[in-house]
A and B are shown apart, each in its own frame.
Chain A
Amino acid sequence: MSGYVKTQLARILLLGGSLLLAMTASAAPNGEALYDQHCASCHGYDGHGGMGIPLALPAFLQSVPNEYLIKTIRYGREGRVMPPFKYLSDAQIDAIVKHVRGFSSAEGAPLTLGSVQGEPKNGARLYTKYCATCHGANGEGGKGTGVTFSRPRDLPVIAPALNNRGFLAAASDKMIKQTLMKGREGTPMQSFLKQGLSESDINDIVSHVRSFEGQTRKSASPEKQDISPVLVRESSYDLKTTIENVKAAAAAANYRLIRVQELDKGMVKEGKESQKEMVIYFCNFELLNNVLALDPRVGIFLPCRVTVVEREGKVQVMSINPQHMSALYNNAELDKACDEMTAIYENILEEATL
């Protein structure tokens, strides 16, 4: 390469790099575009909710400071579907919050970060009396995931898990106090001043809620990344026998056989399908509907299936590992169901290959 060409190439690279850096640094994030990309799937384009809670609820936007929204986006809610958006920049999150604020003409609560001093013992007593019915005895939140699939919501929001690390990081004492004092119109959260509690009582409850920080919420499956993505067993039978074994094992586990088909069926000409990879589809409709109720997005690993593969005379039986897949959903309720599904899959594979 001649010296001239080298110099020109270096200039072009430097100029291109500098331009790209400058564009990245100076372009103001587009809050609406970011919201549409990252939030609208669950919360709806207009913020009226869907799988996620309705952000456009005026009483909600009135009672939470920007800091709460920012930290909620940043940390999410561990095990409660809302994921942490760790990869968004501060500027991008600010832009999203600004867009969310536009859903309502209501002014956001002024930033209130101060702590509240109260008597946690009395707070615990009052919490049990007034809060535990909705928020759980230990602040674990309302039952279920709050996720819907074209079902009318019984309530506009599910009672938040007050012991959730994401919630405790996002909500300041003063925000919790204000919510207790004023309630939240349009949700079951009532004003506890109107219920007869004094400001001092409310301070005590806030202190008790803050004490949840000392409890570590046990994650249902803490080491998901270490869980094998597939379940595999060697079969000592031939392909045909193994397929029959899988069908029998699935039936014994209360699954109904849907069909057996080649892996490449529909992608190659009819009659040209490989017979070396056969998929057995089966379903337990009750389990299916229970899992869909926990999270409608689980369709990507439905219906249940096991694949039997033959390579050089050796037969293997394999399936996805639901425990591994459940990590995608940040849904503690689904984690439990997927743990059970993994156990069922393992039994089917064992039965079919023993």
Chain B
Amino acid sequence: MKRLLLIGLMVCSWLATPVYAEGLLMFRSKQTFPEAMLALQGAIAEHGYTVSRVQRVDIGLTTSGYTTDKYRIVFFGKSGELNAIKYAEPELIPYLPLKIAIFAEGQETMLVTANPVQYASFVRNKNIADILRRWENDLRSIFNDMK
């Protein structure tokens, strides 16, 4: 009986979990840059995160041949999780807080972030690995909400 239950649970968990991890999570929004920027910050807040800073990356872009200077990096996180990670896994500090690069591409907008799950390979603490997995789900959900 126990073996049967185990097999059943294994089948269900195999079907429920993704079998790969993309290194970069990318999303092309059909919205213009200002609209996408607004939608992104709204989606981040909806998922319970705080936007801590929006960094402009536009100095000299137009003089370097770009037709736009619409490039920003949005930093965000949850202070509780940040605190937990910085003590349990200090090696992750340089990768904190979460960030999404957002830039205009014509009339559309590109959003890119690193998949936090890739850091799980050098994390020893199970709770922190769980946080990284939750972050991946939240990032996918944030991009999904922007559709």
Contacts and interface: CB of A to CB of B under 8 A. Distances in A.
Interface stretch (A106-114, A185-193, A299-307): A299-307
B57 A303 contact: yes
Contact of B93 (A152, A300, A307, A328): A307
Contact of B96 (A263, A266, A303): A263
A299 B114 contact: no
Contacts of B61: 289, 292
A173 interface: no
A288 B73 CA distance: 14
Interface size class of A (residues with CB under 8 A): 35 or more
Given A289-B61, A299-B73, A318-B91, A21 B15 contact: yes
Contacts of A151: 65-67
A17 B11 contact: yes
A150 B104 contact: yes
A17 B8 contact: yes
A17 B12 contact: yes
Contacts of B93: 263, 277, 307, 309, 318
Contacts of B53: 265-266
Given A50-B28, A327-B23, A300 B79 contact: no
Interface in A271-296: 277, 283, 285-286, 288-289, 292-293, 296
B38 interface: no
Task: Decide if the interface of chain A is mainly helix, strand, loop or mixed.
Answer: mixed
B73 A320 contact: no
A137 interface: no
Contact of A328 (B24, B57, B65): B24
Which of B15, B71, B95, B112: most chain A CB closer than 10 A?
Answer: B112
A325 interface: yes
Interface residues of B, number: 63
Contacts of B108: 44, 50
Interface string B48-78: 0011110101011100111110110101011
Contacts of B30: 45
A316 to B, nearest CB: 7
B8 A51 contact: no
Contacts of B94: 230, 305, 307, 318-320
A198 interface: no
Contact of A10 (B5, B23, B26, B75): B5
A150 B67 contact: yes
A349 to B, nearest CB: 11
B134 interface: no
A331 B91 CA distance: 26
A40 interface: yes
Nearest to A290: B64
A41 B4 contact: no
Interface of B: 1, 4-5, 8-9, 11-12, 15, 19-20, 23-24, 26-28, 30, 50-53, 55, 57, 59-61, 64-68, 70-71, 73, 75, 77-79, 82-83, 86, 90-91, 93-97, 99-106, 108, 110, 112-114, 118-119, 122
Given A149-B66, A149-B71, A150-B103, 18 more contacts: A13-B5, A17-B15, A21-B15, A41-B110, A50-B105, A50-B110, A87-B20, A149-B105, A151-B65, A151-B67, A267-B79, A285-B59, A293-B64, A299-B71, A300-B101, A300-B113, A302-B55, A329-B24
